[in-house]
Amino acid sequence: MRCLLVTLEYPPFYGGIANYYGHLVKAWPQADEVTVLDNNKGQLLAPQGKWPWRRSLVSLWRALKQGHYDFVLVGQILPLGTVVWLLSFIFPIKYGVFLHGMDWGEALKRPRKSWLAQRILRRSALIIAANNYTADLVKGTMPLLSSRIIVVNPGIDSVEPPLVAPEYLASLRQRYNLEGCQILLTVGRVVERKGVDKVLEALPQLLPYYPKLRYIILGNGPYLPVCQQLMADLGIKDEVIFITNATDEEKAAWYQLADIFIMPARAKDGDFEGFGIVYLEANQAGKPVIAGQSGGVGDAVVDGVTGLMVDPQSPRAIAQAVRRLLNDESLRRQLGKNGQARLQQFLWPRQAHLLRDKIKEVL
């Protein structure tokens, strides 16, 4: 079996979707079964002119003529799905389309795109949803295609956390004056839907009970100035630390130092958290999580088992969840332990086997 993955986003391109495809290919049971056609050298999108995806039509035509592929994996329903759909009338190929969430929502906003996206899926052999929330959205729009949908969540490399030297942990505590402090941690791009602002709004409700509570945010993004102004308005600048350039080693260390990982993600203008690999990274370190009831987060976090799900719009609900965990060390430990045990089902080789086996079924 030979597969061709065609995608606009692939390493070294940075981002969650590129990371998803890169890990799937790396973990594929038979490494020589998957060839990747990406846009890292401009093979798929023309830099200017009408219909920039016209270049992908030529590149994919050549690849299909030369490669004799059994199955094509489409990384983006629009525009690449359009190209594969058109070529499927010429070449005897079967294809599957990946959907992460916002891509499907955006496709449905305009009648022309909706018409095209639905025809692309109707002709597909597989619809690969990155989370159950997106799978349910597709089922709601196109119930007759439910049997073609498979959920392949993002994965993780190991159940065990990266090793961090105790001396390094101690140096971070000293550098940021955190001795004896309780630590909340968020890791992620600082955009509105991640919920950093709502955690900031919850802090004044918590600090009277936990005066040594500190909130650490690893990340940068367009919403950072808004959050910094909010900190000043709330008078909590001394209790919040933004670290915008953390290394992988530093990130692993903060997971170890944190008492609670918190990211109450919410939907914003049709955009939502497709999964949240950071919740798994926190569980990998044995830490409980607080997450927002939104999007595909329910695949990554099991409420009351690996963490607590809250109304992401409510600082009061967020504060209550934090208090519940800070007041109950045994609960924190149990949720973290449960989360770490659950990681087995998210290991990348398992995800790749799941997809490969399904492809073999439809060939």
pLDDT of residue 234: 97
68 lies in a domain? yes
pLDDT of residue 282: 98
76 lies in a domain? yes
Question: 128 and 13: one domain?
Answer: yes
pLDDT of residue 319: 98
Least confidently predicted of 43-52, 150-159, 197-206: 43-52
161 lies in a domain? no
Question: 197 and 332: one domain?
Answer: yes
Question: 128 and 222: one domain?
Answer: no
pLDDT of residue 108: 87
pLDDT of residue 67: 84
Residues 4-32, mean pLDDT to the nearest whole number: 92
Helix (H) or strand (E) holding 331: helix 329-342
Residues 153-170, mean pLDDT to the nearest whole number: 95
Residues 58-81, mean pLDDT to the nearest whole number: 94
258 lies in a domain? yes
Least confidently predicted of 59-63, 206-210, 272-276: 272-276
Question: 302 and 337: one domain?
Answer: yes
Confidence of residue 99 (pLDDT cuts 50, 70, 90): very high
User: What is the residue-averaged pLDDT of the chain?
Assistant: 95
pLDDT for residue 268 is more than 90: no
- Which DSSP string do the residues of 231-247 spell out, in sequence order? HHHHT-GGGEEEESS--
Residues 196-203, mean pLDDT to the nearest whole number: 98
Is the previous residue joined to 12 through a cis bond, with omega within 30 degrees of 0? Answer: yes
Confidence of residue 347 (pLDDT cuts 50, 70, 90): very high
CATH code where residue 140 lies = 3.40.50.2000
Range from 51-55, 63-67, 114-118 that averages highest in pLDDT: 114-118
Residues 288-298, mean pLDDT to the nearest whole number: 95
| Residue from 363, 24, 113 nearest 5 by CA | 24
Question: 261 and 298: one domain?
Answer: yes
pLDDT of residue 316: 98
For the chain, what is the domain count?
2
pLDDT of residue 14: 81
CA distance 300 to 292: 11
pLDDT for residue 163 is more than 90: yes
More confident residue, 51 or 150: 150
Residues 159-184, mean pLDDT to the nearest whole number: 96
Residues 281-286, mean pLDDT to the nearest whole number: 97
239 lies in a domain? yes
209 lies in a domain? yes
Question: 183 and 329: one domain?
Answer: yes
The percent of residues in the chain predicted with pLDDT above 70, rounded, is 100
- Residue 335 identity (one-letter amino acid): L
pLDDT for residue 4 is more than 80: yes
Joined together, the tokens standing for residue 283 give 């569980």
Do the beta carbons of residue 6 and residue 74 sit within 8 Å? yes
Residues in the chain: 363
pLDDT of residue 50: 77
Question: 52 and 99: one domain?
Answer: yes
Question: 93 and 178: one domain?
Answer: no
| Residue from 260, 248, 249, 254 nearest 339 by CA | 260
Question: 226 and 140: one domain?
Answer: no
pLDDT of residue 329: 96
Question: 88 and 55: one domain?
Answer: yes
Note down the domain range covering 138. 3-155+347-362
Residue 360's CB is within 10 A of a number of other CB atoms, namely 11
Residues 242-265, mean pLDDT to the nearest whole number: 96
pLDDT of residue 169: 97
160 lies in a domain? no
Question: 174 and 70: one domain?
Answer: no
278 lies in a domain? yes
pLDDT in tens, 305-321: 999 999 999 999 999 99
Question: 134 and 177: one domain?
Answer: no
